[in-house]
Structures are given as structure tokens and as C-alpha cells.
């Protein structure tokens, strides 16, 4: 019994150490760079500004003090206001590549939809 006790204690200690140092991700962006669990990717090819993208801009960009008429550079309340920023690549760069816009963050599924829309040429209708 004396010989078994140190072996059992050592085995228990090894299990505790192995269990506490295993791989664990809690950053969704690292696991799902765009989209993620629960993001419905079906129909992304059919996204247009008026059909699926406008609500993303309304919720994340065209808010008081940001990209509204008289606010930060660019008025994102209309397609005509957004299109120049699409054309110069700044929306792709800031929202998809750098992910620094909006400063408050954006759900990964919205980023995935936005990227699909941009990749499709940012259609209006």
C-alpha cells in the first residue's frame, strides 16, 4: 500500500496539470474568423444593400455621432453615401481586414455577410 500511494498521487497530479493546461479558445474570431456558429451562410450570394446589408450599416455605422449626415467621414445612411467607401476599399479594409470599425465591434455573422456582399460587387438591389 505504501508503494501504491505515491504512484496514485503522482498520477492524480499529472491529470490535474494536463487538464488545466489543455488547449482552450474563448476568442470567437480565432475559431470562426468570419461567420461562426449559428451564422446562416445560405443565400449570401443573394445579398444586396436593400436586402440584408442596410440593417448592418444601420445598427453598426449609421448611428448618432458616427457615419450620419454631418458626422464622421462618410454618410452611411444611404447606398449613395456608402458606395464611395466601398469603391476605395476602405470598408473592406476597416470592417473586414483590420476589424477596427465599428469601434464597438460587430457580430462575426454580420462581418461575413458584409464580406460576401463586398465580394459580390456590393449590389444595391
Residue 114 has pLDDT above 50, yes or no: yes
Phi and psi at residue 57, in whole multiples of 5°?
-65, -40
- Structural domain includes residue 100: yes
Q: Percent of the chain, pLDDT > 90?
A: 37
Reported pTM: 0.66
Instruction: Label residue 73 by pLDDT band (50, 70, 90).
Output: confident
Q: Is residue 8 part of a domain?
A: no
- Number of domains present in the structure of the chain: 1
Q: What is the mean pLDDT of residues 12-32?
A: 50
Instruction: For residue 125, tell me if it sits in a domain.
Output: no
Domain contains 11: no
Tell me, yes or no, whether 91 lies in a domain: yes
Domain that holds residue 80: 29-119
How high is the pLDDT of residue 104? Answer: 86
Lookup: cell for 117: 456582399
Measured CA distances, 94 to 30, 91, 121 (Å): 18, 5, 17
Domain assignment present for 55: yes
- Read off the C-alpha cell for 96: 473586414
Q: If phi over 0 gives left and psi between -120 and 50 gives alpha, with beta otherwise, what is residue 65?
A: left
| pLDDT at res. 88 | 96
pLDDT for residue 68 is more than 90: no
36-53-29 Cα angle (round to 5)? 25
Extract the C-alpha cell encoding 56.
Answer: 448592418
Amino acid at each position: 500500500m505504501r508503494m501504491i500511494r505515491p504512484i496514485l498521487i503522482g498520477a492524480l497530479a499529472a491529470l490535474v496539470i494536463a487538464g488545466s493546461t489543455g488547449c482552450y479558445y474563448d476568442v470567437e474570431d480565432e475559431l470562426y474568423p468570419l461567420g461562426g456558429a449559428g451564422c446562416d451562410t445560405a443565400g449570401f450570394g443573394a445579398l444586396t444593400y436593400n436586402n440584408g446589408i442596410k440593417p448592418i450599416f444601420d445598427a453598426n455605422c449609421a448611428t448618432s455621432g458616427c457615419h450620419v449626415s454631418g458626422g464622421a467621414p462618410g454618410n452611411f445612411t444611404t447606398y449613395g453615401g456608402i458606395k464611395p467607401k466601398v469603391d476605395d476599399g476602405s470598408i473592406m479594409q476597416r470592417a473586414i481586414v483590420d476589424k477596427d470599425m465599428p469601434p464597438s465591434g460587430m457580430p462575426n455573422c454580420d462581418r461575413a455577410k458584409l464580406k460576401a456582399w463586398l465580394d459580390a460587387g456590393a449590389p444595391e438591389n
